């Protein structure tokens, strides 16, 4: 059975993951309107991943006998000045999320909830990737500077990203 502080931290994280999805959708909309369809695609896929994270944590709460709690999802900022500003904010946000995930791990250990600790380790690893992906794109944008040709090349590359449900294989293994 899940304990109070761990339950609260996980419920807060479901909200934070949905907020992340909102944030990336808002960024995707900005990129789409600005004509960067590839950037918009990358961010749209990112939003889909965040929704998968939220649902996965919600399912863990239920599986451990906890009661999901729902609170308001904060509205994201919707105006951005450039693609570079967008990715600066993606990186800042992912670093913030890493802090939340690390805190869940500490709270779960403090309450001797090894199942949640083990569960949240997937997210500890995921955050390494999340930060690295944003950092890599931001480095490219720093290199690109004001070169529109290179920016459109990067946009084309980001158009190739496709959403794959990170938990699809696990769900299939649970089928009878």
State which of residues 7, 9, 23, 50 lies at the interface with ligand FEO (CB under 6 A).
50
Helices 37-63 and 148-158 pack at an angle, to 10 degrees, of: 40
Q: How far is the CB of 176 from ligand FEO (least distance, A)?
A: 29
Contacts for 105-114 with beta carbons within 8 Å, 24 or more apart? 107/5, 107/6, 107/9, 108/6, 108/9, 110/5, 111/3, 111/4, 111/5, 111/6, 113/2, 113/3, 113/6, 113/64
Per-residue binding string, ligand FEO, 94-133, x by CB under 6 A, is: x--x--------------------------------x---
Q: How far is the CB of 20 from ligand FEO (least distance, A)?
A: 5
Tell me whether residue 40 or residue 120 sits nearer to ligand FEO (CB atom).
120
Residues that bind ligand FEO in the complex, under the rule CB under 6 A: 17, 20, 50, 53, 94, 97, 130
């Amino acid at each position: 059975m899940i304990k109070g502080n761990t339950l609260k931290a996980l419920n807060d994280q479901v909200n934070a993951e949905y907020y992340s999805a909102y944030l990336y959708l808002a960024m995707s909309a900005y990129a789409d309107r600005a004509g960067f369809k590839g950037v918009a695609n990358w961010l749209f896929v990112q939003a889909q991943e965040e929704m998968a994270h939220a649902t996965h944590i919600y399912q863990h709460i239920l599986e451990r006998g906890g009661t999901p709690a729902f609170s308001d999802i904060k509205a994201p900022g919707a105006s951005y000045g450039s693609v570079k500003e967008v990715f600066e904010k993606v990186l800042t946000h992912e670093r913030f999320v890493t802090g939340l995930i690390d805190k869940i791990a500490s709270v779960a250990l403090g309450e001797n909830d090894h199942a949640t600790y083990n569960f949240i380790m997937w997210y500890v690893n995921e955050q390494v990737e999340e930060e690295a992906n944003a950092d890599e794109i931001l480095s490219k944008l720093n290199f690109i500077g004001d070169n529109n040709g290179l920016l459109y090349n990067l946009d084309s590359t980001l158009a190739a990203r496709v959403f794959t449900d990170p938990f699809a294989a696990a769900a299939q293994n649970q089928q009878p």
